[in-house]
Structure 1
């Protein structure tokens, strides 16, 4: 960050606070029950996403390009939940609202990077479904392991670069008065509004990022499914169309769970109470990582069969081990 700021001018001095104060969930009635709920959600997220990652890693039949994206989504959900939930519980439940300046920027980096990757990963899965249904004969050529790994890697580079720019621009802000962040984490929008010097670049970034992270991915996903529906209506019977769409149910549920709360929040931004907005956004951050593995396990036949095979192998190995001990 010193290198970033040196490019702006050697003689510029920025006033960086020793710490920020996170206050978003303070003062909400019966909020302690919400922290217990967050803890439960976090445990389910960790267990669920770990199971999905282990199953995909152990079962060679799940090494298709689609499951590269599913594995990455589970990893991102696990990383994002681990970066956010324990810190939120520590801040609010154990009353540690003061977070050092550098720690706050690190917190922001991990939260926003995982938020970006969740959205981008849904795009990768949408592209996979688009090619699999519209070009089934060319699927093996168009969507290879190399292509999916390259796409996921490109999304990681894009997400990390975008968030690093946001963090770099925050380091050129001075904070002369308030250091109280009215959010549940180190939120970029809340931080740059506290600055007492020119924050216009941060404002421009805050207008561009929703397009990059939210509207562009959502637009691509909706257009891809509209194209799938239009094409199937022309070339397939109703039964064939429903069968094809059945393979998309899991992904559509993930898209709905991730984007619907954000759409509601952005649409009703001025009409809902700030506390309701904060809780709604915090739920948007923690609920999808919990539900994603559950949806994939329940909706994906391959993962269910893989789980049964792995459990059967484990049961057989235990029986064999018990017999060898007896003998």
Structure 2
């Protein structure tokens, strides 16, 4: 039975397949070890991001603009990994390569929405550092909890809008030839390549979509750090300059981990081997969510102090319970 619906494309009808076949890591040796690695990374991602969200939510000392953005990043990382990694494990480890057309569109929307929010949140954090260093006396006036909440809310809405548009375009395409997606998930570009009718609007969206979710944030972050560098050069005291630079290191590491592999894949394009590109892109999507909370939260002094306070509080509570049990006896 053909995976394509029976609609007649020659009469102008739109032909949708019942299923797509996700090819994944074809021809790559020792992939079973990679799937074990995926399971480990996903478990760790859930653990560390849940811990970060719990700490920020429960500790009022962390209810600051920066940590509201960090909380939002943890939510994006948690949801993005949940939308992608279990599906990858089910597809390739359990050999469930078929995915329905509707499920593919749903996957496109959620995966790219959460990736967009990861990218957008990094721009919010760069804005926070820009104001803190370039306008230190006005930081508390400009960057408030209310303003960061408003910005992140608008970014969630924007992410939903720009990622529902490709889904609408894909739903208007016809697929009358191959249904094999040469990727490890329902990637927008890979799906567009399978269309057999005029997909010019989709092709335009295919190159404008990365601009909106990746290149514009990269340009914004680059611009903020140019301004930060200029502000740092004006600081006379070397110790003060180093102290200000130290507040940016965690964010710069996150930006490098998230954007550099993507830029590498886009820059080299067809030069690199297809399998190398797939492995690189898969690592790009699964590693930042587990590294972000470790780099940005667990390494910061405020967050470590919050963990110490929680430990002392729980230790005191446990000691009181033990003493209470002995006194009762």
TM over 0.5: yes
Question: What is the aligned partner in structure 1 of residue 43 from structure 2?
Answer: 43
- TM-score of the pair, normalised by structure 2: 0.94
* Separation of aligned partners in 1, 2:104 and 2:13: 20
Asked if residue 75 in structure 1 is aligned to residue 60 in structure 2, the reply is: no
Question: What is the aligned partner in structure 2 of residue 6 from structure 1?
Answer: none
Q: What is the DSSP-based 3-state SS (H/G/I as helix, E as strand, rest coil) of the residue aligned with 1:184?
A: coil
Question: What is the aligned partner in structure 2 of residue 167 from structure 1?
Answer: 167
Asked if residue 305 in structure 1 is aligned to residue 305 in structure 2, the reply is: yes
Tell me if structure 2 keeps the 8 A contact 1:296–1:303: no
* Separation of aligned partners in 2, 1:131 and 1:88: 40
Q: What is the DSSP-based 3-state SS (H/G/I as helix, E as strand, rest coil) of the residue aligned with 1:270?
A: helix
Tell me if structure 1 keeps the 8 A contact 2:49–2:77: yes
Question: What is the aligned partner in structure 2 of residue 202 from structure 1?
Answer: 202
Q: What is the DSSP-based 3-state SS (H/G/I as helix, E as strand, rest coil) of the residue aligned with 1:175?
A: coil
Tell me if structure 2 keeps the 8 A contact 1:65–1:143: yes
RMSD: 1.2
**CA offset at residue 297 of structure 1?**
3.5
**Structure 1 residue runs of 4 or more that deviate by more than 6 Å after TM superposition:** none
Asked if residue 144 in structure 1 is aligned to residue 137 in structure 2, the reply is: no
Within a 5 Å distance, the mapping from 1:43-192 to structure 2 comes to 43-192=43-192
* Separation of aligned partners in 2, 1:234 and 1:126: 20
Question: What is the aligned partner in structure 1 of residue 7 from structure 2?
Answer: none
**CA offset at residue 287 of structure 1?**
0.4
Tell me if structure 1 keeps the 8 A contact 2:16–2:101: yes
Tell me if structure 2 keeps the 8 A contact 1:20–1:179: yes
The answer to which of 126-135 and 26-35 deviates more is: 26-35
**CA offset at residue 302 of structure 1?**
0.3
Q: What is the DSSP-based 3-state SS (H/G/I as helix, E as strand, rest coil) of the residue aligned with 2:271?
A: coil
Tell me if structure 1 keeps the 8 A contact 2:169–2:201: yes
**CA offset at residue 19 of structure 1?**
0.8
**CA offset at residue 12 of structure 1?**
6.5
Question: What is the aligned partner in structure 2 of residue 293 from structure 1?
Answer: 293
Query: Per the alignment, do residues 225 and 236 of structure 1 end up closer, same or farther by CA in structure 2, a change over 3 Å counting?
Result: farther
Q: What is the DSSP-based 3-state SS (H/G/I as helix, E as strand, rest coil) of the residue aligned with 1:248?
A: helix
- TM-score of the pair, normalised by structure 1: 0.95
Tell me if structure 1 keeps the 8 A contact 2:25–2:184: yes
Tell me if structure 1 keeps the 8 A contact 2:133–2:231: no
**CA offset at residue 239 of structure 1?**
1.9
Structure 2 segments unaligned to the other structure (5+ residues): 1-10
Tell me if structure 1 keeps the 8 A contact 2:254–2:296: no
